[in-house]
Amino acid sequence: MERIVIDVYGKVQGVFFRYNTKRKAKKLGLEGYAENKPDGSVHIEAQGEKSDLKKLLEFTREGPRLARVENVKYEYKDPIENFDGHRYSF
């Protein structure tokens, strides 16, 4: 199991980016969360199999139809115990 931290920049708030990211992550069997940040970006942390994390990363590079992704920053990190309790959990 691995964890990925992704920050997505551009027109990614108000276009169902977070909602669609959660749907994709659930479909891939990942655990984690996605949240809107005050600077207009979307922050995502997810963990699971690396192949599934790569699929989530690919999704974030394009996003839903109304989004305009300008930049995606990411890094892989060690997994953590759980994401339970985060109000934006998948």
Q: In CATH, what number is assigned to the domain containing residue 25?
A: 3.30.70.100
What's the first-to-final CA gap in the chain, in angstroms?
17
Residues of the chain above pLDDT 70, percent: 92
Catalytic positions: 18, 36
Give me the pLDDT at residue 70, please. 98
- Number of separate domains in the chain: 1
Q: Is residue 50 part of a domain?
A: yes
Q: Tell me what the mean pLDDT of segment 11-16 comes to.
A: 97
Give me the pLDDT at residue 90, please. 82
Q: Is residue 90 part of a domain?
A: no
Name the amino acid, one letter, at 12: V
Provide the sign of the torsion angle of the four alpha carbons 27, 30, 31, 35, taken in this order. Answer: negative
Q: Tell me what the mean pLDDT of segment 62-80 comes to.
A: 96
Give me the pLDDT at residue 83, please. 63
Give me the pLDDT at residue 39, please. 98
Q: Is residue 73 part of a domain?
A: yes
Domain housing 61:
2-77
Q: Is residue 51 part of a domain?
A: yes
Q: Tell me what the mean pLDDT of segment 9-18 comes to.
A: 97
Average model confidence (pLDDT) across the chain: 93
Q: What confidence tier does 87 reach under pLDDT thresholds 50, 70, 90?
A: low
Give me the pLDDT at residue 84, please. 64
